[in-house]
Amino acid sequence: MAVLLLAASLSARAPYAAAAPVSSELSDTFRGLWERFRGRKPPAQVPDGDGAVIGRLVSWNVQTLGAKASKAKKEALRLGLGRALSGAGTAILAAQEVANDKGAETLARQLPGEGRGWTMSFEDTSAAMNNAIFTGPGVRLECSSNLSIEGVRHPPHMAYVTAGDADFTLLSVHLSYAKGDASASAEELKLIMAWVRAEAAKPGADPDFVIAGDFNLPTVRGKGLSARSSERAWEPLEETMGEGFTALVDDPTSRRGREGSANNYDHFLVSDDFLEELVAAGAVDEREFVLAERSAGARASDHFPIALTFRKSGPGVALDGGSVCR
């Protein structure tokens, strides 16, 4: 199902920050942070770039968002999405654990501008953990669908998107947790990567792919930063991903308890060709999310979001192949 939510553009606030450790004494006061959420522009936090040439892709597991989201959780999501998606002229959201149509509609209304100008791409299934993609003003969504891949429990949601001169195939994925069994997650990743490689191998295919989501697997470096670092069976995803792709985001983003982060589950896997468009990727500053949630009176999710900034124009950025829509 693709639903167009009528026109309004994103406000241009400051870009996201890569994650930093939570200290016992935050340098910003609560009042100062609240004013930032109310719309005051904080200092730039990523490489300098104009909104006309920079795009933002955010991935967030929103923790089984369904029909009964409380007013407080909606407010926490709204504040969190406003922070994660701010600072670029073009924005895309890849969401995981969207329970049903009602949950997708609820999430859409928490986007900047209450979702006006955004396109929602979502297909409900019998499972309570679906994936979705939302594209903001200035992004063209050529086609989208759930992928039926035998052996993958939560169907990846695929969209082919164009933003300026950048075009790529985006997958929003949520690999099985299976009570922490890394082999179950790794087997699903193998199947998804097989689909991606088959598409990339087609004559004239666009070589740019981004797989975003909750993998329940760490990167090599991310494992060492995680609470599960001592688990020998929790293997880094690079061992499964294969050549031709780079795994981004080493920060722990899965949360332990109400506030702190614990494990490195959320990533972007990008094809080598997409590296020409890449500017930066990392976890959105968790300190601001914690304070926003305190003000809302609810936790938005048991994950912090991650964000990737990409160039929409400039050297090396070009519409360079046929889409998966063919």
Phi, psi at residue 34, to the nearest 5°?
-60, -40
Alpha-carbon distance of 296 to 73, in angstroms, equals 7
β-strand partners of 168: 161
What b/e sequence results for 76-86 when a residue is b if at least 16 CB atoms lie within 10 Å of its CB, and e otherwise?
A: bbbbbbbbbbb
Does residue 167 form part of some domain?
Answer: yes
Does residue 59 form part of some domain?
Answer: yes
Does residue 249 form part of some domain?
Answer: yes
Tokens of 270: 């990008």
Alpha-carbon distance of 184 to 177, in angstroms, equals 7
- Give the pLDDT of residue 277: 95
**Of the candidates 173, 196, 178, 306, the residue with the CA atom closest to the CA atom of residue 234:** 178
Does residue 124 form part of some domain?
Answer: yes
Q: What element of type H or E holds 263?
A: strand 261-263
Does residue 18 form part of some domain?
Answer: no
Q: Mind listing the pLDDT tens digit for each residue in 83-112?
A: 898 876 799 999 999 999 999 999 999 999
Neighbours of 302 (CB within 10 A): 17
Count of domains forming the chain: 1
Residue type, 221: R
Does residue 174 form part of some domain?
Answer: yes
Angle at 99 between CA 95 and CA 103, to 5 degrees: 75
Give me the domain span that covers residue 128: 2-8+28-311
Alpha-carbon distance of 64 to 61, in angstroms, equals 8
Please report, for the domain that includes residue 296, its CATH number: 3.60.10.10
- Give the pLDDT of residue 110: 96
- Give the pLDDT of residue 88: 65
Does residue 22 form part of some domain?
Answer: no
Q: Mind listing the pLDDT tens digit for each residue in 264-292?
A: 999 999 999 999 999 999 999 888 888 88
Does residue 14 form part of some domain?
Answer: no
Alpha-carbon distance of 300 to 317, in angstroms, equals 35
